[in-house]
Structure 1
Amino acid sequence: MNFFYRWLRVLALAVLPLLIACASTAGEDTVGTSVSGVGHYGKRIGVADFFVNGQWAGAVTGWGGGGKSLCCVSLPRHPDKPVMVTVKWRTIRSNVGEEAWHEQTVPVNFAAPSGDGSGLKIHFLPGHQVQAWYTSGGAWGDAYPGPAYPKGPAPDYAPRPNEKPQPNAEVKP
């Protein structure tokens, strides 16, 4: 039982500053929310870093989730017009030695009232496109309104015309 209380105390000390940080970014007209990312690129590519409105939000694999931020992004408490966020991200394709920065300003898709959701999900889609969704559930659920969560084996990454092509697969005798 003593181990449980120590673990609970460590967890509280780790989470409490994050909650305070998110609350401190919120004002009377804004709400602080966490950010996470979902990769839809495929294999042999990853999002090494991503930022939302200048706030570092983590890293994401090329296929699936990750990148839960340590802090948050402020969203309007009662949005009365489209809410835009700027996402900047760095992709790395280690199999071809390529690293690139991308940036896009996109609208936030609100599927939950601001302040009642479980965070902002940033989807990294093929063609270096992004979508932002503020929802009450996880990105992996069947009722999730955004892009379908990547399932099954990851497909090969399809490079854009201005990117290095994938190396030829070795043919084994």
Structure 2
Amino acid sequence: MTEMQRASKHTWLRLVRRLLGLIPRWLLAAAALSLATACTTGSNDLVPRKDMVGAPISAVGHYGSMIGVPEFYLNGRSGGTASGWGGGGATVCCMLLPRKVTGPVMVKVNWTTCDISDIKFVNGRAVDPSQKCKEEEHEETVPVNFAVQPGEGGSGLFVHFLPGNHVEVWYSTRFPEASGYPGPVFPRGPAPDYAPLPDKTPQRDTSSK
């Protein structure tokens, strides 16, 4: 990738994140639910195999304020981008899952992290505009955690980017920010720096599901 292409990609990502920040979270959640319904009950053009369902892909960042995910892929399919802290609203359609899960379903996750901890900012702007974030490539193959059978409905496939550069993938009827979500607890409050990344066990919601 040339420097011009890299600069264009980062400019585009900043614009997308700014636009997403203007959309109320309830509207993003409603759009995600609509997309999930369309995928799981969609036409034969979307899901031609009757033993499979389509699941929209969404991501949640647990990295903090200094590290984001400009791109990630599930089994080679683009999942979009992920904020370093929170997320879960924007979705990409779709990944095929078995309607009835009878054994482990593994996915290969490839993602890029963008670390801005070495960049000096004043009033939210980089002192040196030419300075770029430190990018690293990562790969991990993990099982999908199913809180419900895909054929029985669900809100989508949620990819969690965790400290230590690990991932967890969940299929659930609940959204990550909802009470009782079975996966890692949704990041809330001011984002920590988390750079360099610590390796720690994610928190779980212990409330009734």
Unaligned ranges ≥5, structure 1:
1-10, 162-173
Query: Matches of 2:64 and 2:197 in 1, distance apart?
Result: 13
The change in CA–CA distance for 1:62 and 1:23 in structure 2 (over 3 A counts) is: farther
The change in CA–CA distance for 1:22 and 1:34 in structure 2 (over 3 A counts) is: farther
5 Å-filtered alignment, 1:22-171, equals: 24-66=46-88, 68-96=90-118, 97-115=133-151, 116-160=153-197
Paired amino acid for 2:162: L
Please say which structure displays the higher CA radius of gyration.
1
Which is further off, 146-155 or 57-66?
57-66
| TM-score, normalised by the number of residues in structure 2 | 0.64
The change in CA–CA distance for 1:84 and 1:129 in structure 2 (over 3 A counts) is: same
Could you list the structure 1 runs, at least 4 aligned residues long, displaced by more than 6 angstroms after superposition: none
Unaligned ranges ≥5, structure 2:
1-30, 119-132, 199-209
Paired amino acid for 1:112: V
The change in CA–CA distance for 1:148 and 1:23 in structure 2 (over 3 A counts) is: farther
Deviations 1:31-88 (A, max 9, x none): 1110000000011110001111111111111000147333210111111111111111
- 1:167 corresponds in structure 2 to none
Output the aligned Cα RMSD.
2.3
Deviation of 1:30 (Å): 1.1
The change in CA–CA distance for 1:94 and 1:107 in structure 2 (over 3 A counts) is: same
Percentage of pairs with the same residue: 49
Q: Is the 8 A contact 1:33 1:73 kept in 2?
A: yes
Q: How many residues align?
A: 146
| TM-score, normalised by the number of residues in structure 1 | 0.76
